[in-house]
Structure 1
Amino acid sequence: MPATTSENPEQSSPTSFRELSASTTDPVAIETDLEDAAPRDDLTPEQLAALWAEEEPPAAGPWANLGASLVVLAFGVAGIFLSQGLGVGSPTRPGAGMWPLLVSVIIVALSLVQLIIGRRGGHDGEKFNRYSLITLIGFITLLGMVWLMPIIGFEIPALLLCVIWMKFLGGESWRSTAIYSALIVVAFYLIFITALGTSIPHLF
């Protein structure tokens, strides 16, 4: 009767990125195999800290943080001017531009803080890559919603914004996107139109 041999799963599985790269070209499979080859539950806190340090993306540096802060500052200032055109109203009867104004003011304040902190340190930021466009696209679509609200009301722009953010930027399924987008728009309508009676432009 021929002898049977059993392979140790830990010895047969690839243990290095070079071996994984030679066996497959799928980056998702490589990342999954690496996690299976080296279970992080068995690592000490010092080893985990060293592993996380190796996996960190390159730091952006002070000049990149300066440029990013200036771009965000410009968007915040533009949002303030656009919200003024919508009509701010008062705290008791807020207009369509009240919430965009508050968000824009917060953006300006945070960008000014980042201008100071980022220029001194800049080690926490990451270098720009293709995923950085997600933030830019999200902010542009938000400005598009603010622009469309006085024309067609807030329901359709808010629904489209949720769909874009959840499906195309967040990678959610169409089912989750449809359900949660509708719930968000209904919740905003019940809170700001029905309950508070604000003057936000709306269709119904």
Structure 2
Amino acid sequence: MTAPHPPDPEPAVEPPVETAVEQAVEPETHDDGPPPAGPLANLGAGLVTLALGVGGVVVSLALGVGTPAQPGSGMWPLVVSVGLVVLSLAQLVVGRAGGDGERFTRHSWMPLVGLATLLGLVALLPVIGFEIPSLLLSLVWMRFLGGESWRTSVVCSLGAVVALYLVFVAALGTNVPHLF
């Protein structure tokens, strides 16, 4: 009589390997990122963009829309503003679930800093030309908003201003206020 064979051990179960599609569909979670915003922040964002869209519609209509054959100066701002209103309403309806929006942090103010510096460029342009304000704008955006090194910021900013000067002043002869 022969001894009975012991049962075969169960094969080791390996965790399933995610395909590239599954990895792309499932958003990664980052512990170092800001926490999710939640439904109240999504409501606030939807209301702010809705107000901007409605304001854009009002201003567009005041500019004059014209006809499709003879569009007025308010035609395309109206189209964009209506799109903003529609997307804002969708955000108000769908965004209540919270989604993956980010909570406002100190980094959320960076777009406003960018807008303020851009307005500074617009204010200084007729006074001192485009060279110095463009250089300062580029430096601020690259160094402080983009986090680039000083060397990269200075070299790229100088290169951008020189390229703008060569294209718009030297080559095209546009009527841009400039110092040189």
User: Which region of structure 1 is more displaced relative to structure 2, 119-128 or 44-53?
Assistant: 44-53
Aligned residue pair count: 134
- Indicate the structure with greater helix content: 1
Name the stretch that deviates more: 165-174 or 111-120. Answer: 111-120
Which ranges of 4 or more aligned residues in structure 1 deviate by more than 4 Å?
Answer: 45-51, 53-56, 108-114
Alignment equivalent of 2:156, drawn from 162, 177, 180? 180
Deviations 1:146-193 (A, max 9, x none): 111000001000000011001111111110011000000011111111
Q: How far 1:137 sits from its partner (Å)? A: 0.3
- Assess if the C-alpha contact under 8 Å between 2:49 and 2:88 holds in 1: yes
Q: Percent identity?
A: 45
Q: For the Cα contact (< 8 Å) 2:37–2:104, is it kept in 1?
A: no
| Equivalent AA in structure 2 for residue 44 of structure 1 | E
Aligned to 1:115: 88
The 8 Å contact of residues 121 and 134 in structure 2, kept in 1 or not, is answered as yes
How much has 1:58 moved relative to structure 2?
0.9
| 2:143 aligned with 1:170 | no
2:104 maps to 128
Matching residue within 36, 45, 49 for 1:65? 45
TM-score norm. by structure 1 comes to 0.53
CA distance in 1, matches of 2:172, 2:89: 39
Query: Which SS does the other structure have where 2:106 is aligned?
Result: coil
Q: Which piece of structure 1 moves more, 153-162 or 122-131? A: 122-131
SS in 2 for 1:121: helix
Gaps of 5+ in 1: 1-41, 81-104
User: Does the 8 Å contact 1:63/1:119 carry over to 2?
Assistant: yes
CA displacement at 1:127 relative to structure 2: 2.2
Residues 1:158 and 2:134 are matched in the alignment? yes
Q: Deviations over 1:100-133 (max 9, x none)?
A: xxxxx69x74754643443233345422111101
Answer yes or no: is the 8 Å Cα contact 1:60–1:128 preserved in 2.
no
Q: So what's the TM-score if we normalise by structure 2?
A: 0.59
With over 3 angstroms needed to count, the CA separation of the structure-2 counterparts of 1:67 and 1:168, relative to structure 1, is farther
**1:155–1:202 contact (8 Å) kept in structure 2:** yes
Contact 1:155–1:203, Cα closer than 8 Å, also in 2:
yes
Cα pair 1:149 1:201 within 8 Å, conserved: yes
Tell me, in whole angstroms, the C-alpha distance in 1 between the residues paired with 2:37 and 2:90: 14
Q: Give ranges in structure 2 of 5+ residues lacking alignment.
A: 1-15, 60-76
> Residues 1-204 of structure 1 correspond to what in structure 2 (within 5 A)?
44-45=18-19, 52-53=28-29, 57-59=35-37, 61=39, 62-69=42-49, 73=52, 109=81, 111-112=84-85, 114-122=87-95, 123=99, 125-204=101-180
Query: Per the alignment, do residues 168 and 113 of structure 1 end up closer, same or farther by CA in structure 2, a change over 3 Å counting?
Result: farther
Contact 1:167–1:174 (CA<8 Å) still a contact in 2? yes
